[in-house]
Structure 1
């Protein structure tokens, strides 16, 4: 790992991919500022990691811009820098297009898009002072390769916006040595999916298995460490976008 990855901020870090990503950076020596709505879960996972002097917790709804600002404030106060931000927090769920309500859209935009946008804004301000940093968003391959029988237009409006944000923000902040990329997973075994059914979706991937959180962590670590990659939407999808079984 690059020696400048001193402090990593991760949203949605109490379970699933976010927690695994936190474990990956922690194992490589980074300090962590972890966010999720559930403080008790965050505290329990932080205790399991050990080394409390290397972990800070900011509980709250990331759709509230003040929460992202607080993550940055705590990172600088405790550890002196904001080197990597992983915008992992997100919600997902199928619902037929004609049944989607304004409240449904607002819920996805608030957590998935607004949370990513304004937490990134707070991080970029600090990264500009440091003259460098890395932002890694979590998108989805379903933006460009939809599935018949999976009606997810509502969450995809927010995830598609994140893909667009990635490319355009990467261009805007490149002169400040800040890199912005997105990992776009296929179907990954997380609490968002029914554990009794998720393995039945393995066949949509040419590699014929469900993704695991560790697959996403490996991609996030690569993007955090590679200083010449920016503006990339990286599929981590078992070949889903490349071919159909």
Structure 2
């Protein structure tokens, strides 16, 4: 009998991340879930690790927990992220440091650890959750800092996909539009729906289905799956 597969999911306490935890559990995976404020859980198939993913020591703790509890890391979903919508000249040094630390530092620290474990077995999958705004900007949503950092997450996908393709590790991205999560107040939904050609916001399930498609598509690597109601196609 094969050992069960193990997924590490960052930004996992609510919204898309919480949906991804349930999605991977539904596939029969064991899951290590991280966010700054995630509630303690230690179950047969699920363990949580609280902490700021921008801290290299937290990344070390997540990876070592996955290996000590479940023996391996098969999949890493880099879902943790922060979006600060301000005119570019109004971003503070703190805004810059926070976005850089979470969106790029968090990716860097945990992905290095995960890929190192995957290389030992010649098998693995990394999925970055980006944003369509980094490639298809909208004047109604100032997104310079998100584009700068999430754009880095996007640009590294093909680079890592090619670097590790012959060693059994796939790297893909899901690029969401604006999704109905606790981050967006109900009264903003009409405005955000109008930013998509389909005139609606996406759901958490839409993004989870996209990630799980990539998870179950062994010949797909270096791919960007847009779950964005047509945003990437244009307006």
Query: Which TM-score applies when normalising by structure 1?
Result: 0.91
Deviations 1:48-84 (A, max 9, x none): xxxx111111110000112122211111111111011
d(CA) in 2 for partners of 1:218, 1:21? 9
d(CA) in 2 for partners of 1:202, 1:102? 31
- Segments of structure 2 that go 5 or more residues without pairing to the other structure are none
Q: Which residue pairs with 1:12 in the alignment?
A: 11
8 A contact 1:10–1:88 mirrored in 2:
yes
Structure 1 residue 185, shift from structure 2 partner: 0.3
8 A contact 2:78–2:128 mirrored in 1:
yes
CA spacing shift, 1:199–1:4, aligned 2, 3 Å: farther
Aligned match for 1:53, one of 40, 44, 66: 44
d(CA) in 1 for partners of 2:58, 2:37? 13
Aligned match for 1:103, one of 94, 102, 118: 94
2:133 paired with 1:133: no
Structure 1 residue 115, shift from structure 2 partner: 0.2
Divergent runs of 4+, >3 A:
none
Which runs of structure 2 are paired with 1:140-179 in the superposition (5 Å)? 140-179=131-170
Structure 1 residue 171, shift from structure 2 partner: 1.2
Deviations 1:18-47 (A, max 9, x none): 0001101111211010101114xx33xx58
CA spacing shift, 1:211–1:235, aligned 2, 3 Å: same
Query: Which TM-score applies when normalising by structure 2?
Result: 0.95
- Segments of structure 1 that go 5 or more residues without pairing to the other structure are none
Aligned match for 1:226, one of 191, 206, 217: 217
d(CA) in 2 for partners of 1:150, 1:24? 30
Deviations 1:135-187 (A, max 9, x none): 00100111111111221211221000001111111111112110011100001
Q: Tell me the matched-pair count.
A: 234
Task: Tell me the C-alpha RMSD between the 2 structures.
Answer: 1.5
